[in-house]
Chain A
């Protein structure tokens, strides 16, 4: 049986800039796949490309892009709109502006069900109340009648999450879904997603830069850098034995209680993610990498370095560890 979401060699360009340069990843039913990386590395663009929601001027190409076994590369807007919101849903990272200011929360939540399932209004409202309760919103009946500008950022984000779950999607793409929330609510949301995963086999593609969340919920992690996946591995494996210099740099930036000594400086990666012109060859990280050598400017191999553990680097096994 094929995976829920299969992406192979996905490329996205905006004019002269390559935002995503050949990404491959899969999300199995009931699995959480995390995409991590610095701001501007192409995480959000990847998720929008999968949903077919790229902004004007964005061009998408892929060797394979399939959802539940169906090739969706050449789906037109109408076919995609039948999938979106119903079988694949998305949560955005901008809670303040992602809700329509002209309609009530209730109207915006119920229209998803009414569109895809033809559910009568009363039943759709019941469903909305149920989900608002599950994302930890008190007085959901009151909230349904309110307009977005009457809610705080955290509430709006939870409304967005509840809205994405209205139709019990098979795939949820969540772009920094809990960044705007405080830790207790964040924990509640993550628990809810885990429950849905267990009950309904929801597959999640979670985009985050919070490695704490990754460690808690991810089954598999793909580390992105400058539009490429530089390392991909099962979560435990990645945290135990990070191989790519960038992954190691990223992990060293996060304090781990018990491991990091007091007063010892945390790691950091000098520089920022570079803008990559089309036709760029070699490792995009080489200017920031302390192991860089001449060969890094040539074509790179994608290698298996362990069970289900891939990386894009010429560094020999065991080196630099």
Chain B
């Protein structure tokens, strides 16, 4: 177990360092930063001034280690556009994105797990096929399109839900539902195939021979084993959803980290872009590590290995 943990942790740290380096390099590769900060009307002297002020005249590797050292301490510099600390900006916006991501994941699990179990129990019947069909449709539907459709129907035509902003919990309903759609198909398929495999196993026959209740057979003995990969994938899916919320936050004008990223990209606010990419990537790495840990906790065979 300890050995397994150490290996996973090492890999996670290496990936994080790679992401740090890449996110630094990408912003430098996108053109002369001093020129884009100065704006289209700046003179050559202004550009030179800015170059010196932001330390962009130093060799690249000096800039890199300077930036890395600060980033590791949580200092991402100042935003050129918002004129505040980038770290503060992200801290302010993160709760909105986290709420959205967790709500989305919660909805996705609430839909995907029961449907997956149902499809497995009724394998190869019309129930199973309809569930798979729904998954297929969900997978094929672009989230911005679904978001706009819901806005028109539920927001404008029926007036049930607010269409943009973050004023109340109602504001989160539509974005969370749209976000959950990206995770439902894969979680559902995984639940279904895991349950089909579990239900055909000898230990389920043993559980039936012991006269256990149907619920205990399905959930305690069946789903407990089918859930191992599902839990792991759910953690990774949350990472995808946090990243994928850029589109949804923009559509629904939720001022979360995704919206911040979109704003900064359009305003060439490179310290913010860099930091957002970095933070989302680190969260993703953390969640992947968490999923490995959950796997080990749930599977006793892995725990003692």
Contact = CB atoms under 8 A, between A and B. Distances in A.
Interface of A: 51, 53, 77-78, 80-86, 89-90, 92, 94, 97-103, 111-112, 115-116, 147, 149-150, 160, 163-164
Given A53-B205, A92-B205, A97-B203, A83 B300 contact: no
Contacts of B301: 101, 147, 149
Given A81-B213, A92-B209, A115-B211, A147 B300 contact: yes
B225 A98 contact: no
B214 A77 contact: yes
A149 B203 contact: no
B209 A51 contact: yes
Among B206, B213, B301, B304, chain A packs the most CB atoms within 10 A around the CB of B206
Contact of A102 (B216, B299, B304): B299
Nearest to B208: A53
B212 interface: yes
B201 A97 contact: yes
Interface residues of B, number: 22
B216 A101 contact: no
Q: List the 3 shortest-distance A-B pairs measured between CB atoms, nearest first.
A: A85-B211, A84-B211, A85-B210
A28 to B, nearest CB: 22
Given A115-B216, A149-B300, A101 B203 contact: yes
B210 A112 contact: yes
B224 interface: yes
Given A115-B216, A147-B300, A98 B206 contact: yes
B138 to A, nearest CB: 28
A84 B208 contact: yes
A15 to B, nearest CB: 14
B221 interface: yes
A92 B202 contact: yes
Nearest to B222: A100
Q: Which of A101, A115, A147 has the most CB of B within 10 A?
A: A101
B207 interface: yes
A79 B205 CA distance: 17
